[in-house]
Amino acid sequence: MTRPPVTVPRWRVTEDEAGSRLDKFLASPNRLGSRSRVVTALDRGRVFVNDVESAAADGASRVDAGDEVCVWTDRPGTARRRPDAVRRSALRIVFEDDDLIVLDKPAGLLSVPLDVREAAASIFEQVEDHLRRSGKRRPLVVHRIDRDTSGLVVFAKHAGAQRQLKEQFRRREPERIYWAVVYGCPDPASGTWRDRLVWDERASIQKETDRKDPNGRDAIADYRVVERFATTSLIEVRLETGKRNQIRIQARLRGHTLVGERRYVFGPDNLRPVAFPRHALHAYRLAFRHPADGRPLRFEAPVPDDLAALFDRLRQGAGP
């Protein structure tokens, strides 16, 4: 068994910290300082508890008083660890012309690279490689979806197209439809979620805030229940605004945490018994006007295999 050297920074869990999630314990300002750094460290096998390596899924585990936690930052062979399936995955191009490219992003892949260049793989880098082979410019970001969210994302190929597309998003014109599996069932079965959110840079999460908070931003989404299961439901969400993690936090604020969610949660893990390796969220439909001639474009991404398998499993448990 590989053990980290004694020179690696170590932290002892106190009585007050006992019962905390491992990722939350490490994300404190005097340790790694952010959840994103913790996720990266776990993904690359750099986190150890009592000299035993922790896996990516162990971020939700609880630490006990007296546990010794360390992060082996320069562990050999972990500089750029990427899941083999992601590294080998083919670029799923839904649409491409001289102005833009629309892709079906798999879960587990960032939309754009993190600030630290050694971070996890991104679809931006894959598109960059694709365009480089054809002698074209680097892609330009129009909008993003979370790493563990699957589905549609668009990049521009030149500044004029990017400017025109981003202006459409700023005016809230594009249609953005997501499918999510949540605990419980929203009541009523359709409606609108309206919240005031603020981004917490230190914790890297969205938080509900007061309507008068000058740093707050409106978050608005329409939802409808598509299918009910035994203890969960499939919902469709149409975004009016597009705040980071918006669907995940708005569903959580109403007691409908996404299945597989690990960041926007409340209470013990046994309240969320459905096993799923990521938050169950899929960017299903995207519609906007072409930046060159204004013609309407509309795209849909099929439900990925992992979500389809989850639907089947939930239906089997729902009874007749």
CA distances to 111, 126, 157, 192, 285 from 142, in Å: 10, 16, 10, 25, 16
Residue 126 CB coordination number (10 Å): 20
Let me know the angle formed at the C-alpha of 82 by 180 and 257, rounded to the nearest 5 degrees: 20
For 279-312, b where at least 16 C-beta lie within 10 A, e where not — what string?
bbbbbbbbebebbeeeeebebebebbebbeebbe
Let me know the angle formed at the C-alpha of 270 by 21 and 106, rounded to the nearest 5 degrees: 70
Residue with tokens 């079906």: 104
Given the residues 23, 146, 148, 195, select the one marked as catalytic: 146
**How far is the C-alpha of 108 from the C-alpha of 118, rounded, in Å?**
16
Mark whether 146 is an active-site residue.
Answer: yes
CA distances to 32, 155, 230, 248 from 237, in Å: 34, 22, 20, 11
Residue 83 CB coordination number (10 Å): 14
Eight-class DSSP state of 259? T
Let me know the angle formed at the C-alpha of 283 by 185 and 187, rounded to the nearest 5 degrees: 15
Eight-class DSSP state of 14? P
**How far is the C-alpha of 226 from the C-alpha of 309, rounded, in Å?**
17
Give the residue numbers marked as catalytic.
146
